[in-house]
Amino acid sequence: MAANSAAYEAIVRAGPRLNQLQQAHAHLIVTGYGQSRSLLTKLITFACSARAIAYTHLLFLSVPLPDEFLFNSIIKSTSKLRLPLDCVAYYRRMISSNVSPTNYTFTSVIKSCADLSASRIGKGVHCHALVSGFGLDTYVQAAFVTFYSKCGDLRAARKVFDRMPEKSIVAWNSLISGLEQNGLGEEAIRVFNQMRESPDSATFVSVLSACAQTGAIGLGSWVHEYIVREGLDLNVKLGTALINLYSRCGDVGKAREVFEKMKETNVAAWTAMISAYGTHGDGKEAVDLFNKMEEDYGPVPNDVTFVAVLSACAHAGLVEEGRSVYKRMSDSYGLVPKVEHHVCMVDLLGRAGFLDEAYGFIHHLDGIGKATSPALWTAMLGACKMHRNYDLGVEIAKRLIDLEPENPGHHVMLSNIYALRGKTDEVSHVRDGMMRNNLRKQVGYSVIEVENRTYMFSIGDESHQETGEIYRYLETLMSRCKEIGYAPVSEAVMHQVEEEEKEYALRYHSEKLAVAFGLLKTVDVAVTVVKNLRICEDCHSAFKYISVVSNRQIIVRDKLRFHHFQNGSCSCMDYW
């Protein structure tokens, strides 16, 4: 007994360190405990924590009759360590060994299925859990809510959740997070409002993300106030969610305030802040913060950080800074640039007008077998359109259509490029092709929040109570703009709009309606509008003039970045 206890102590002392564990293992064998299931289980758990998966497996094979406890330990460890394939393999082995699973088995293996987005395997596990009698286990159910959400099957997630007799806080959080992560921010907020339990810090992280996604600054600030009032600990994840909230709702200053107040920061928090500056067009601040991160012995930047910095440089025209950052990525940090970094570089060079260099960059990648992503050509195409390189643009757009015929975006780009050159026949040809193949451009809409209520506008929208008033006000604004020099963007650009949009012309684009509504309903404050697509050229020009005639600041968040219109100019300096 004493020897057994000493052996156990030796394993615990070794901890998740491979060398020490192997010594302890040798000792077990020498002292005759090499077959002890309980000691080997402990050893295996540590070996797995050390990520020594081959050794873990070897140890496992040395156990004569693995029991429920050993299987559960190894399934849980592999799941926690994000070794989902091993986890599923041990689960299968457990079944074939006729060892009965428990709720502990299921929660771990479901988590691994979620990590793998392995929809078919997970559904099989679900059936198995039901027939094994764990259909009403709160832990198992919550795990399934997460699993279905991560597979994008929100209906199934909802079904499991709705059938839970006792809905735990974790189940609520799983559903809210699942909705938010699948782009259903509004729905996530609705579910949050139905919650009867008191929310905890994980709830707020997901709710804040949902607010950031939808632009619901009213609820977002309420959550912030609640956190302060109730003295909730502003941990890193919560702080980062707040930075993201303020940034994506247009207030970088407030985002920075939160960042400065955080007691503990990490790479995600810094990256969120850098990204905030980047999307608001303040590339210099983004690069400064990145430099500070390096100088102050801040957290070590990761590949996500580099995407944020490079994108910030691209949007601000900081070509030399971008090149230097890209070089440092591998030279100083040993990170291998991935597709997203390559895309940033093509974007950086292309936007700045170095089309040849951008093209050469892709060809260089091609030469080393790394130019497989259509995203690279999409970035290149954007640059061609921006710098009016029609021939190359048409060539690339056609290539992209060959690569991804189902992507309506490529067809729209080709049509837009033809339109810019006045090739109306070609435009109709592309449009007809889209119609034939049932490819539709994404429907654009703009959202604005006034006094905690959100209002959504689509093009030529007449569904609002105050439609008459909004349209009349917009007319007045536009004629005042014309008096000081505004001219609608040329006829050629008009052809870029969808057929059914033409009748409304450019005048009633969703972002114009939303801005007019905002100006009408508020006094003195900046008007912030969120658009799901990129802002249109004419609206971009119009808002500069509107900021003058209304003497107000207009902030538009489009699909890619922010535009702050004030005193007749935009923060993007027309560089977008």
Residues 99-138 that bind DNA (CB under 7 A): 102-104, 107-108, 111, 114, 138
| C-beta of 186 vs 473, nearer to DNA | 186
Rounded-to-integer distance, Cα 174 and Cα 206, Å: 9
Question: Which two tokens mark 285?
Answer: 């601040």
Number of residues that bind DNA (CB under 7 A): 73
CB of 266 to DNA, least distance (A): 4
Per-residue binding string, DNA, 313-352, x by CB under 7 A, is: -xx-----------------------xx--xx--x-----
Decide: 248 and 220 in contact? Cβ < 8 Å: no
Rule CB under 7 A: choose which of 250, 382, 393, 518 binds DNA. 382
194-233 binders of DNA (CB under 7 A) = 200-206, 209, 212
- CB contact set of 279 (below 8 Å; sequence gap of 6+): 247, 248, 312, 315, 560, 561, 562
Asked if residue 266 binds DNA (CB under 7 A), the reply is: yes
Residue type, 378: T
| C-beta of 328 vs 480, nearer to DNA | 328
Q: Choose the binding region for DNA from 4-12, 311-319, 387-395, 435-443 (rule: CB under 7 A).
A: 311-319
- CB contact set of 510 (below 8 Å; sequence gap of 6+): 444, 445, 446, 457, 458, 459, 461, 531
Asked if residue 496 binds DNA (CB under 7 A), the reply is: no
Rule CB under 7 A: choose which of 109, 125, 316, 379 binds DNA. 379
| C-beta of 235 vs 428, nearer to DNA | 235
Rounded-to-integer distance, Cα 494 and Cα 68, Å: 68
Rounded-to-integer distance, Cα 461 and Cα 563, Å: 23
CB of 393 to DNA, least distance (A): 13
CB of 479 to DNA, least distance (A): 35
What b/e string do you get for 517-551 counting C-beta neighbours within 10 Å, with b at 16 or more?
bbbbeeeeebbbbbbebebbebbbbbbbbbbbbbe
429-448 binders of DNA (CB under 7 A) = none
**Between the CA atoms of 154, 159, 165 and 170, what dihedral angle is there, to the nearest 10 degrees?**
-10
Task: Name the 3-class secondary structure at 34.
Answer: coil
349-378 binders of DNA (CB under 7 A) = 373-375, 378
Asked if residue 308 binds DNA (CB under 7 A), the reply is: yes
Three-state SS sequence of 77-89? HHHHCCCHHHHHH
Asked if residue 267 binds DNA (CB under 7 A), the reply is: yes
Rule CB under 7 A: choose which of 41, 56, 221, 275 binds DNA. 275
Rounded-to-integer distance, Cα 517 and Cα 513, Å: 6
Question: Which two tokens mark 272?
Answer: 């969120």
Residue 447 pairs with which residues in a beta bridge?
A: 456, 530
Per-residue binding string, DNA, 387-416, x by CB under 7 A, is: ------------------------------
Residue 555 pairs with which residues in a beta bridge?
A: 528, 564
Per-residue binding string, DNA, 449-488, x by CB under 7 A, is: ----------------------------------------
Three-state SS sequence of 503-520? CCCCCCCHHHHHHHHHHH
CB of 349 to DNA, least distance (A): 12
| C-beta of 325 vs 546, nearer to DNA | 325
Rule CB under 7 A: choose which of 17, 27, 237, 480 binds DNA. 237
57-96 binders of DNA (CB under 7 A) = 69, 72-73, 76, 79-80
Q: Choose the binding region for DNA from 83-91, 236-244, 456-464, 536-544 (rule: CB under 7 A).
A: 236-244
| C-beta of 353 vs 488, nearer to DNA | 353
Asked if residue 554 binds DNA (CB under 7 A), the reply is: no
How are strands ordered across the β-sheet holding 453-458?
Answer: 453-458, 445-450, 527-531, 554-557, 562-566, 569-570
Rule CB under 7 A: choose which of 31, 36, 49, 302 binds DNA. 302
| C-beta of 103 vs 416, nearer to DNA | 103
- List Cα–Cα distances, 571 to 40, 274, 278, 515, 530, in angstroms: 63, 17, 12, 17, 16
